[in-house]
Amino acid sequence: MMVKKHVRPNPQRNVKGGIAEQERAIPLSNVALVCSTCGPVRIGHEVRGDRKVRVCKKCGTTLDK
Ligand SMILES: [Zn+2]
């Protein structure tokens, strides 16, 4: 996965201005999770015991195994 990044010139780090391409994974927060009952939904976090799990904001289903 490539992302384009607009770079400002930085002479101290010998960086030229322009557009640089970088490979980068999608940030986890931008990934839409799919709830088995609601489809793609916003997720929330909930603490279950000593771990944090992701839950469907709509129906409350735990989305992590
Ligand atoms: Zn749901």
CA of 20 to the centre of ligand 1 (A): 39
Instruction: Tell me how far the alpha carbon of residue 40 lies from the centroid of ligand 1, in angstroms.
Output: 8
Q: Residue 26: what pLDDT?
A: 60
State the distance from the centre of ligand 1 to the C-alpha of 54, rounded, in angstroms.
11
Please list all protein residues whose beta carbon sits less than 5 angstroms from ligand 1, which is an ion: 35, 37-38, 56, 58-59, 61
Domain boundaries of the chain, sorted by first residue: 2-56
* Predicted model pTM: 0.47
* Residues contacting residue 35 through CB under 8 Å, at least 6 positions apart: 41, 56, 58, 59, 61, 63
Q: What is the mean pLDDT of residues 17-40?
A: 74
Paired tokens of 43: 């997720």
Tell me what pLDDT residue 59 has. 94
